[in-house]
Amino acid sequence: MGKTLNKIIFIIGFIFGIGCAFSFAAPACAFAAVCEVTTSDGQTVGFDTFNQGWAYTCYKSSSNKNTTTVFKLLSDWESWTSKGKHSMNGSNYSHSKYDLGVDVKRKDVPGLDDSKSKVDCFDDGFIWVPHDKSITIDLNGHNINRQRGNDQTDDGEVINVSSGAVLTIKDSNPNRQQTLYGYDVKGGAIMGGASEDGAGGIHIKNKATLIVEGCNICGNQTNDHGGAIKLEGKKSKLVMNNSTVFANKTRDAKSNTNGGAIYCDGGTATITKTTFIGNESEDYGGAIFSDEGNVNLTVTNCVFQNNYCRDSGGAIYMDAGKLEMSECEFLGNSSGDDGGGIYIDGEEGTVIRNCQFKSNYAKDSGGAIYVYDDYVSLLDCIIKNNSAGKDGGGIYVDGKYRISIQGVMEVCDNTASHGRADDLYLEDAKENATVYSGGLMDGSKVGIRTGGDDPKLKNVTKQEVEEYFFTNSGSFSSTKNSEKNESYYASVFAIGNRFVIVLVTILVAAFLVAGAVVVRRIRSR
């Protein structure tokens, strides 16, 4: 029995010793698999390997250009932080880029056959999705970390999506629990970018598409626009679902730096079931900024919490474009100027439906919402316990503009300077600042105050005035149905309700056809 035990101990010790020997003898450039590379046609084409961080990818090119190459992470990717030029494909770059589609031969990479492999080195570089390529990155619970900290540089983003390319980022194993930038989260993350000339995290070029499904994007920053994501050009596209975007920011620069999380300069952005928390903008739009251009922004079932900007639009600033928002929450956002929750300064139409604004703050005016646009409609919203340093603790409407409210609206318990009640503030009622009723319902409670004449209401019934409105100061000046068509346009057509428009058009056409038939029959008699 003793001899048998000694043999077992000897064998275990021998195996352990060999393992240690190989471990200590392994060269510094030893490779370890970081991701599996496959194509959408079912072909496994290789494994990505790394050395001290970003590394050498080796995989065979798929002959079918219509296939999507999938990179599934098997461990975290972390960039080198060394600097210097790196020659790729005959060109020099101040920082390397990890090319997910271009053949690059590297004879100085040990263990790789240049004639059969695609390889690239990531020495403090960004991931580049080439023109017209379709790439999927599966985080698989792991992180892609550029590791730039506060050291901003040209091309300092984590990922760059070229024109015509389609990048999908997903997480097939979102159960990993980790603490990133002070937040407890689940799943992998895109993080650590710091740029001077583009997005901090992901830069989407014109005609490119980014799809984000169930991921974290955090800890990125830029001196330009878009701490996490920059959507560039009228044909660019962003689709984001079930994700968390947090602790991203734009930093001080000589010119404005807008959109702490997302900056839209044209294109289409559809965002669903996503949380924006703790993002900051040095200037406008703590979480999202929509710039001049044909932007279509749709936000559904999202949470905006504790975002901040030094100027206006603590969570969202709409400088141009169309915004359709529903079932969202704005909690604890703040701005150093106007619009603690949202600042609206566009002409394409804004609809906010079934949303809640609570505990938001503007140092100047519009604790929850600041309106500087004629086509703003609020439907079934709760706007409570917000505050402003000057006027409009809940909503501030500029003297030249109007706002439409509809459904069950609660705009109450908001405060402004010196703690006075100030729910919906009309800057100067003797101009155009007006509240339109598109049809309020039981449960509505709307407090109104004005800086000039009595509050101006239009398309409002006597019952609505008596049951749903109250004044924070002064009395009411109402116009009964005299501008019913105009207010109907403001509350229905301007919100992009194409179904209503099409339905009315069909009914009118049907009526005209029926009338023509009747007239023809009468004449035939």
Residues 265, 353, single domain; the answer is no
Q: How confident is the model at residue 520 (pLDDT cuts 50, 70, 90)?
A: low
| pLDDT, tens digit, 9 for 90 and up, residues 137-181 | 999 999 998 887 776 666 778 898 999 999 999 999 999 999 999
Residues 350, 463, single domain; the answer is yes
Do the domain assignments include residue 372? Answer: yes
Q: What distance in Å separates the CA atoms of residue 148 and residue 371, rounded to the nearest whole number?
A: 38
Q: Mean pLDDT across the stretch 246-260?
A: 87
What pLDDT is attached to residue 124? 54
Q: What distance in Å separates the CA atoms of residue 57 and residue 162, rounded to the nearest whole number?
A: 20
Residues 354, 252, single domain; the answer is no
> In the beta sheet, which residues pair with residue 382?
356, 410
Encode 77-116: b = buried (16+ Cβ within 10 Å), e = exposed. bbbbeeeeebebeeeebebbbbbbbeebebeebeebeeee
Do the domain assignments include residue 211? Answer: yes
- Whether 478 shows a pLDDT value over 80: the answer reads no
Q: How confident is the model at residue 507 (pLDDT cuts 50, 70, 90)?
A: low
**Most confidently modeled of 38-47, 69-78, 192-201, 380-389?**
380-389
Return the number of other C-beta atoms located less than 10 Å from residue 507's C-beta.
10
> In the beta sheet, which residues pair with residue 437?
405
Residues 183, 246, single domain; the answer is yes
Q: Mean pLDDT across the stretch 232-245?
A: 96
What pLDDT is attached to residue 477? 57
In the chain, how long is the greatest CA-to-CA distance? 121
Q: Domain range spanning residue 146? A: 39-44+66-92+126-311
Q: Mean pLDDT across the stretch 249-265?
A: 88
Ranges assigned E (strand) in 214-287: 216-218, 221-222, 229-232, 237-241, 244-246, 249-250, 262-265, 267-272, 275-277, 280-281
Total number of domains constituting the chain:
3
Do the domain assignments include residue 436? Answer: yes
Return the number of other C-beta atoms located less than 10 Å from residue 440's C-beta.
21
- List all residues 6 or more positions away from 203 whose beta carbon is below 8 Å from its beta carbon: 157, 159, 160, 161, 195, 226, 229, 230, 232
CA distances (Å), origin 402, targets 14, 342, 432, 456: 83, 16, 7, 10
| pLDDT, tens digit, 9 for 90 and up, residues 379-424 | 999 999 999 999 999 999 987 788 999 999 999 999 998 778 899 9
CA distances (Å), origin 365, targets 66, 332, 361, 395, 417: 52, 15, 9, 8, 9
Q: How confident is the model at residue 455 (pLDDT cuts 50, 70, 90)?
A: confident
Q: What distance in Å separates the CA atoms of residue 244 and residue 216, rounded to the nearest whole number?
A: 5
Mean pLDDT for the chain overall: 76
Residues 304, 432, single domain; the answer is no
What pLDDT is attached to residue 348? 79
Angle at 318 between CA 181 and CA 307, to 5 degrees: 20
Regarding pTM above 0.75, the answer is yes
The pair of structure tokens assigned to 178 is 């980790």
Q: What distance in Å separates the CA atoms of residue 231 and residue 208, rounded to the nearest whole number?
A: 9
Q: How confident is the model at residue 261 (pLDDT cuts 50, 70, 90)?
A: very high
What pLDDT is attached to residue 109? 32
The pair of structure tokens assigned to 420 is 């006075």
Q: How confident is the model at residue 524 (pLDDT cuts 50, 70, 90)?
A: low
Do the domain assignments include residue 75? Answer: yes
Residues 156, 11, single domain; the answer is no
Residues 353, 481, single domain; the answer is yes
Residues 357, 473, single domain; the answer is yes
Phi, psi for residue 503 in degrees, rounded to 5: -60, -45
Residues 339, 236, single domain; the answer is no
Residues 234, 132, single domain; the answer is yes
Q: What distance in Å separates the CA atoms of residue 260 and residue 493, rounded to the nearest whole number?
A: 32
Residues 188, 289, single domain; the answer is yes
Do the domain assignments include residue 58? Answer: no
What pLDDT is attached to residue 452? 66
Residues 392, 260, single domain; the answer is no
Angle at 390 between CA 386 and CA 396, to 5 degrees: 60
Place of tokens 């020659």: 87
Q: Which of 260, 279, 311 is the last residue of a domain?
A: 311
Do the domain assignments include residue 326? Answer: no
Do the domain assignments include residue 101? Answer: no
DSSP 184-220: EEES-EEE--EESSS-SSEEE-TT-EEEEES-EEES-
Phi, psi for residue 269 in degrees, rounded to 5: -125, 125
Do the domain assignments include residue 56? Answer: no
Q: What percent of the chain has pLDDT over 90?
A: 46
Return the number of other C-beta atoms located less than 10 Å from residue 298's C-beta.
17
CA 498 to chain centroid, in Å, comes to 25
